[in-house]
Structure 1
Amino acid sequence: MAVIVTFDLPGAGQELYDEVIARVTGGKGFARFADVGDPGLLSHAAGPVDGGFRVTEVWESEEALAAHAKTFGPILADLGHADARPTIIPAHNVVVR
């Protein structure tokens, strides 16, 4: 079952986001899904919120997210955000192009 994942990063900005994405993609950046090595990612959006930065993703399953977290988690920890915990909810409906 698909899941919707939201990461709220208080005190973070676009600089942190860009650094995480650079590390996840080996410096290539993230402009297309082909740039991401994890095939279970269905959608990704990120932007500033009051007091921080938010990332919202849709994954094919919690298992796909868990596989990605093995890469993503240590990067966040290395950048001082080891306490970042996502909100995960089951997706009732997902529409993709």
Structure 2
Amino acid sequence: MAIIVTFDLPGAGQELYDAVIARVTDGRGFARFADVGDPGLVSHAAGPVDGGFRVTEVWESAEALEAHAKTFGPILADLGHADLQPTIIPAHNVVVR
């Protein structure tokens, strides 16, 4: 079942987001995050919100997200955000164009 995952980064800005993305891509030999192609990632969007930054993703399953977290989690921990807990809800509908 598809899931919608929202990461809120209070007190953080685009700098943290860009640092995480740089490590995810550079550490795996990709020039852009769009090229990473993690199995199960349907969509990814990020942008500023009052008091921080938000990332919203759609994953094909919780298992696909968990596999990605093995790469993403240690990077966040290294950057001082180990306590980040996403909000996860089941997707009722997903439209991909």
1:93 and 1:50, CA in 2 relative to 1: closer, same or farther beyond 3 A?
same
| Separation in 2, partners of 1:12, 1:18 | 11
CA RMSD of aligned residues (A): 2.2
Question: Which runs of no fewer than 5 residues in structure 2 stay unpaired?
Answer: none
1:60 and 1:33, CA in 2 relative to 1: closer, same or farther beyond 3 A?
farther
Range with bigger deviation, 25-34 or 50-59:
25-34
- State the secondary structure of the residue aligned to 1:82: coil
8 Å CA contact 2:46–2:55 kept in 1: the answer is yes
| Separation in 1, partners of 2:75, 2:33 | 20
Task: Report how far residue 76 of structure 1 moved.
Answer: 0.3
Q: Which runs of 4+ in 1 moved over 2 A?
A: 27-34
1:31 and 1:89, CA in 2 relative to 1: closer, same or farther beyond 3 A?
farther
How many corresponding residue pairs? 97
Task: Report how far residue 32 of structure 1 moved.
Answer: 6.6
Matching of residue 75 in structure 1 with residue 75 in structure 2: yes
Identity of counterpart residues, as a percentage? 91
Question: Which runs of no fewer than 5 residues in structure 1 stay unpaired?
Answer: none
8 Å CA contact 1:22–1:29 kept in 2: the answer is no
**TM-score, scaled to structure 1:** 0.91
Per-residue CA deviations over 1:27-47 (Å, capped at 9, x if unaligned) read 689897751241211000000
